[in-house]
Structure 1
């Protein structure tokens, strides 16, 4: 079975492999940094699929994409990671893997890289990408409070954003943040320019 254009996730039972996966970022298709996605078990959108053919190339390559794709056309099946990375899936079916919300201010090339040539990720609500240093950040994964608190700049940024969106009761705000992982979670990203982490809250 041919490996997909994503990093080796390792044995999910090994703690050091899990730690490596959480920090491991892959540039899909060898393009710019907007394509970098984390390869964490449970959020990785490509899974082994045996002999199931991809909906775009009709080839059985051993891996299939399982997350979002937005199109008005009928798609019979799912895509292989290669057809996502080279843009053929989005072009053939006139669709996008990620909504452009949140990507204001980036170049058209980066916008197309994220929406048309980068795998989306699983989320209860419509997932969206975050921007930092005027480029699309790398998606790290869905995290709870413990993982988020390991990146104080992301926690502070999320706290500030929530205040701007009406969370003025500090006790209620802190209770929500410290309860992340128990229903609501945070989507964590990393800036590919300066390395800063940022996040947005996500509730089912």
Structure 2
């Protein structure tokens, strides 16, 4: 069975939030070879959700939950985009509270977890985000380049606009 595609998380397997692992989905009660291992916000502690129940919104509906905290996102005016992100898109795993960036009036797609070496070729394209990160976090650009390590204490998350393909950067610290 082909995995569903997600507009805002096009490769959840590479982000390690969907894994090839046997499960019986608590939503559809079907056996699946793929299981979700990312954030899910609900009153109940739910495990074993299959990707198909994320995609069709049935997991969020059944458990009155979400895959992204709607206050931890850039503002987007289209409610349909917000609903797709929080109710029908697998999240990603961050050190602290995950945050979802936007561009061109829509949410961006999460691309990968990054350190400086993975994004140094995008320095010019990411310059606005880098300036905002440094000014808001009390970092110098040199500190950011040194301390931003994939899997390290300062973790980067690379996003890409689903319309114009511009890259965006978000970071958090452990």
Aligned to 1:134: 105
Q: CA deviation at 1:123?
A: 1.4
Q: Which runs of 5+ in 1 are unaligned?
A: 6-26
Q: CA deviation at 1:121?
A: 0.9
Query: CA distance change for structure 1 residues 40 and 60 in 2, over 3 Å: closer, same or farther?
Result: closer
CA RMSD of aligned residues (A): 1.9
Query: Per residue, is there more strand in 1 or in 2?
Result: 2
Alignment check: 8 A CA contact 2:34 2:50 kept: yes
Q: CA deviation at 1:160?
A: 1.4
Report the Cα distance in structure 2 between the residues aligned to 1:96 and 1:184, rounded to whole angstroms: 26
Q: Does 1:149 align with 2:111?
A: no
Structure scoring higher RCO (CA < 8 A, sep ≥ 6) equals: 2
Report the Cα distance in structure 1 between the residues aligned to 2:119 and 2:159, rounded to whole angstroms: 10
Aligned to 1:37: 10
**How many residues get paired?**
171
Structure 2 SS opposite 1:150: helix
Q: Does 1:183 align with 2:156?
A: no
Q: CA deviation at 1:153?
A: 4.0
Structure 1 SS opposite 2:112: strand
Deviates more, 1:52-61 or 1:85-94: 52-61
Report the Cα distance in structure 1 between the residues aligned to 2:41 and 2:12, rounded to whole angstroms: 22
Aligned to 2:168: 198
Query: Per residue, is there more helix in 1 or in 2?
Result: 1
> Aligned ranges for residues 45-194 of structure 1 at < 5 Å?
45-50=17-22, 52-75=23-46, 77-100=47-70, 101-167=72-138, 170=140, 173-181=141-149, 182-194=152-164
Q: CA deviation at 1:154?
A: 4.8
Q: CA deviation at 1:74?
A: 4.5
Aligned to 1:4: 3
Report the Cα distance in structure 2 between the residues aligned to 1:184 and 1:103, rounded to whole angstroms: 21
Report the Cα distance in structure 2 between the residues aligned to 1:166 and 1:74, rounded to whole angstroms: 33
Q: Which runs of 5+ in 2 are unaligned?
A: none
| CA displacement, residues 9-66 of structure 1 (integer Å, 9 cap, x when unaligned) | xxxxxxxxxxxxxxxxxx42xxxx4x3433463x13111222x201111111111000
Alignment check: 8 A CA contact 1:153 1:198 kept: no
Alignment check: 8 A CA contact 1:154 1:199 kept: no
Bigger radius of gyration, 1 or 2?
Answer: 1
TM-score (norm 2): 0.88
